[in-house]
Structure 1
């Protein structure tokens, strides 16, 4: 059976439901301005067998006021949570949301951070599933504890200090996944300061998507992302956003077209801007 490691279509997921080795499905719906609404949407209707992963509770760690709005969770805490939902070693994981894949992509990156390679995001999310005529269910599935364990990471990340030190050398291309207005220091409503990290370039995460909510064809993504990298290998790029969430969408897009190895700055602008003396540009 083939393993899915980036995106999975509704047709491919439907086939997995009919297979002997069932996939582990996780619903990641969320709203930054209404944090309870994602779970409410899950309870109203989710993909068959799906468990819910909450961005603030499951996919983030404790906040200190200086580590961003969505710091990385403790590895073993997240691994334990996934075991409680029945996740098995090497089991195919499928993640989805209703927000263009940004929260599912965060979970995708975190699973890879725990060493799990068989993890994919449902292209088009719950909307694509319903558009294909597939059904939803509203009851919470039961589960028996799995044997999943965190192993060596398949991804790499950098700290605020790493990025700060690199400003002197410019080794990394910093890519900001926030909207263009926030990148330019306009309409900032979430973080302490407005602007962006000096030298960063902007790639709004929605640039990865078509109007129908599906990811752009690989050939188009490849051309756009190679132009973005300006001749650098992906390994010399750092993806960031507001709080380390939508940056994962750009990381997923890079992986889809084989541009592997880009780094995540998890604290992103929310951590960077929590320091009043942080260098910034507008």
Structure 2
């Protein structure tokens, strides 16, 4: 069986040592960039490897064009493929990504693997807390993998850049969903980016609203009902957030709900607000 959206702790426990499975720890703290790696060293799912959001799941903030492309722009595809190979990922590898934040960071790796055409990737539902609650142990041992054979393939997910999104603002062709907390969406309490507010016309769907109280995702039916109040056509919808990370959580939630085809704006608000010629809204 191939897992392409979520996997439970019980299901992962059956395969965690399988040679054709790779588990990646994506824990991170935006305010303390070294916290994830420290937490990994203190205890992680056995046989797991560590992915650093800034170093492994993001590229250079300033591109070859000299422009700022956000706090976590997508890396060079070839460089990312090389990273995935170092983790032992091949053409037939089942990848499981997890964190301790309800999938906040794991969903980014989930989306990026789809971006390079690898479908067999799932997020551990409930993350490390669910693993521990299932009675499974954590390890401090490092794991090593044989170099993987993954090749770059056509993307299985859609993306859109700032220029394309700007052109579509006035024609009503796209619905924009912002995954940030409501106060940051309104332009209040902005601590990560130099400008507060949101892209004009965007709607707010805080990524944490995808979760139950225990940190696991809501049911497919409930997610479908909630998102149907916001969007009419997933394929005409753009997901964004502060830097293209938590927006992936909303993309995953839609996939769970069977609402496929939404696009990610990787640069998100951090890129958008860096250009003063782009419009900004600060009211709901």
TM range (shorter): over 0.9
For 1:168-197, what per-residue CA distance to the aligned partner results, in whole angstroms no more than 9, with x for missing partners? 211000000000000001001111111000
Moved over 6 A (4+): none
Output aligned runs, 1:1-282, within 5 Å: 2-17=1-16, 22-64=20-62, 66-229=68-231, 232-282=232-282
For 1:95-121, what per-residue CA distance to the aligned partner results, in whole angstroms no more than 9, with x for missing partners? 000111011000000000010000000
How far apart are residue 16 of structure 1 and its match?
1.9
Q: Distance in 1 between matches of 2:258 and 2:245?
A: 21
| Number of matched pairs | 278
Q: Distance in 1 between matches of 2:156 and 2:92?
A: 14
Cα pair 2:220 2:258 within 8 Å, conserved: no
CA RMSD of superposed structures (Å): 1.0
How far apart are residue 21 of structure 1 and its match?
5.1
For 1:54-92, what per-residue CA distance to the aligned partner results, in whole angstroms no more than 9, with x for missing partners? 000000000116100000011111111111121121210
Extract unaligned runs of 5+ from structure 2.
Answer: none
Q: Distance in 2 between matches of 1:62 and 1:251?
A: 23
How far apart are residue 148 of structure 1 and its match?
1.0
Q: Distance in 1 between matches of 2:264 and 2:226?
A: 19
Q: Distance in 1 between matches of 2:42 and 2:261?
A: 38
Q: Distance in 2 between matches of 1:120 and 1:152?
A: 19
Q: Distance in 2 between matches of 1:74 and 1:205?
A: 26
Q: Distance in 1 between matches of 2:144 and 2:79?
A: 20
